Structure 1
């Protein structure tokens, strides 16, 4: 649920819930104060309202049919007893003089007070004008048989009900304020907690990141905007952590690279320096001098080759070496490559065998020049470990659905199982002595990996000690017959 929807629902709840609660509280207060109050406010009042109406109708009828009975004191006292049960008082006036008044009606200035009220002339309900803000007054005119006139008043005592109402309204106002305050306070607290808690978690994570601690995962488990923010923050933390680890790895690799370059360059330089000193000291004379000069030339060639490989690898590592990818018939390419290897003087005494499919061309996406360098680096690596009397290198091609695989196998010394996963790492040599005569520069296979991956392929190796090594590299096949660049 989005924050916008949450806020909208919160605003609706802040309006609807207080109204519902206030209505419930008001009903509770009404039943507690009005319905359960004594006297006129009690439930008996509401049950006897019909009795009051019937009694008022009967008195009105008697004022018209039997007016003289309102001069009978005994009758009036009897009627007053009935009215008293209903919290109603009776006042009879004749010729503007009070001839009878119920005891609970205040007699002081009663006549004037009655004259000032705007009594209801219809007499159809017990409510009407008010007297002293206590009595509800009903007036019935009467004409006696002696031709004198008068009035009959029914005064209903409303004081218990009014007292209950006076108590009710302040409580209702207080209840309204309490309901609004509590409801809005609780909803605001819940809403703010719902928003502040994840923001506080993000703040804590930011502080930890600022202090360099990237180990704590940020998982808000929400599906709103804050959840998206938390996911983005976690992605940033993860990538930053990954970047720092990668940077540390690069730094470690840089140190290792400098160390390896220093060692590999120092070895031929030390040999050259020893030969030069021997010549300068006159130790090397005649055939021995020629041997020293040949050694200097060989060490110089080794240094030149090492520097070329370092430059090539650095360009590959920095992705500054362009790849000219095009459609290549890998089967024809490998056949030509096998023929060239058989004529190569460096491979004299090595049997080159090949196995290629005969179904037709195998079209792949490759850079011809880089592909040749890949094959030659693998062959050069194999030559250093051929230790059998019958030396053999085998080239094979396997045609797959989406890629083609080249396998180059030798019958040399093989590679130890624990060293096999690292042979494509730069400056890694399976031989700890780092002898350049047998171990090479240590970046030949690293260049193979970089070049194959630069052409969209993959490389791997299998080996058994004492039996030989197989190196595989794959290249993606073309979907159509067009060229790639």
Structure 2
């Protein structure tokens, strides 16, 4: 449920729940404070004071009937007393006036100057919101004129006690106001607490996670298990944490790799420098005292210098590739013709003497890819140089094969060397990785050759891979996107 819907429902609940609770409380209080006006009440579902009012109306109707049908009964003291007692039970009383003289007054309504008050109420009625005229602060009245058989006239008054209702309502009203305030306060307080708790608790979780990240602890997962806006915020926060954790992990890995690079480069540079230093000292000490010896020492210095130059060039190239600062000069290239020319040049190189170099391509037409020709040659030569280091057979072979796929072309370079262990094979393209570090002194290299291959190929939209069997050799392959299938059309 969204926060917007949750807040809307809470506003509706804050409106309707207090109304319902107040109605129940008001009904309960009314039944408690008004029950004295009617005793127990016999009519099911009817409040007590309504029953009292109805009984009194019935009795007053009986008085009216007797005033019209048998007015002489109002001179009978027994009848008047009995009727008055019944009215007294219902908070009312009877007053009879004959020939402007009060002949009967109920003890319930006995009051001084009652006659004048009754006359005044008749001439200047003030109902004060009630249906019957009010004669003072306590009573309202109904009157019925009577005519006796001897032509005397009179009036029958039924006075109803107003104060009983007013007193109870005066007690009830403050309680109703207090209960309304309590209901509104409790309802709004509880709902506000529940809604705010559902919002504040996950925010505190996010705050705690942010504090942990600030302290450098990125290992704790942020999982709010919500499907609202805060849940989306938590998911975004968790994604940020994961990416930040991964970024820091990669940064630490890069730092470790760079430390390893410095160590490897220092080691690999020290070897030729030590050789150069030994040759120079030999010349200075007069050990190379003949022309052939001096030529030999100078040749060794030149060879070691070339090794250092190649090592530095390789490091410089990898640094540019690693920082994405080396531009690619992509152009349309017939990969089949390009590889054919590379194989022909390899066969002419002196270092390839005694090595069988074969090229296989099942097609008979051009294979158009978009590639950087110079860097593509670096890829091929790095793979071949890596293969040459580990050829241990008497008959050394290199097989270069081109496979023309529908969307990409695959180039594989296979040797018949010693092969690579299965556990090491997935890592040979990683930066500075060496499957057998112990061989580095004998074979040379910084461990960057295949990492450079991976960087160049992926920079042109391809990918690399390797397969190997111990004792049989290794196949290293790479792919390039064909023009029109993701390769750049120039």
Q: How does 1:165-314 map to 2 (within 5 A)?
A: 165-286=169-290, 287-314=292-319
SS at match of 1:130: coil
Rate the CA distance shift 1:292–1:437 in 2: closer, same or farther, 3 A.
farther
Cα distance, 1:120 vs structure 2 = 11
Mapped partners of 1:85, 1:307: distance in 2: 120
Q: Which residue of 1 aligns with 2:33?
A: 33
Q: How does 1:113-132 map to 2 (within 5 A)?
A: 113-118=117-122, 128-132=132-136
2:96–2:103 CA contact under 8 A, matched in 1:
yes
SS at match of 2:217: coil
Q: Deviations over 1:183-234 (max 9, x none)?
A: 0110111122122111211221222222222222222222333223323322
Rate the CA distance shift 1:80–1:413 in 2: closer, same or farther, 3 A.
closer
Which 4+ residue blocks in structure 1 deviate beyond 6 angstroms? none
1:41–1:160 CA contact under 8 A, matched in 2:
no
Q: Which residue of 1 aligns with 2:143?
A: 139
Q: Which runs of 5+ in 2 are unaligned?
A: 42-46
Single out whichever of 354-363 and 428-437 deviates more from structure 2: 428-437
Mapped partners of 2:413, 2:21: distance in 1: 84
SS at match of 1:412: coil
Q: Deviations over 1:417-468 (max 9, x none)?
A: 3433332234444443454552333222221111111111111222222211
Mapped partners of 2:249, 2:219: distance in 1: 12
Q: Which residue of 2 aligns with 1:425?
A: 430
Mapped partners of 2:487, 2:220: distance in 1: 50
SS at match of 1:214: coil
Cα distance, 1:409 vs structure 2 = 0.5
Cα distance, 1:388 vs structure 2 = 1.3
Say which of 464, 467, 477 aligns to 1:472: 477
2:38–2:51 CA contact under 8 A, matched in 1:
no
Give aligned pairs, total.
480
Rate the CA distance shift 1:234–1:41 in 2: closer, same or farther, 3 A.
same
Rate the CA distance shift 1:234–1:51 in 2: closer, same or farther, 3 A.
closer
SS at match of 1:117: helix
Q: Which residue of 1 aligns with 2:385?
A: 380
1:87–1:156 CA contact under 8 A, matched in 2:
yes
SS at match of 1:37: helix
1:268–1:299 CA contact under 8 A, matched in 2:
yes
Q: Which residue of 1 aligns with 2:12?
A: 12
Q: Deviations over 1:244-303 (max 9, x none)?
A: 222222221221111111111111011011011111111123333222122111111111
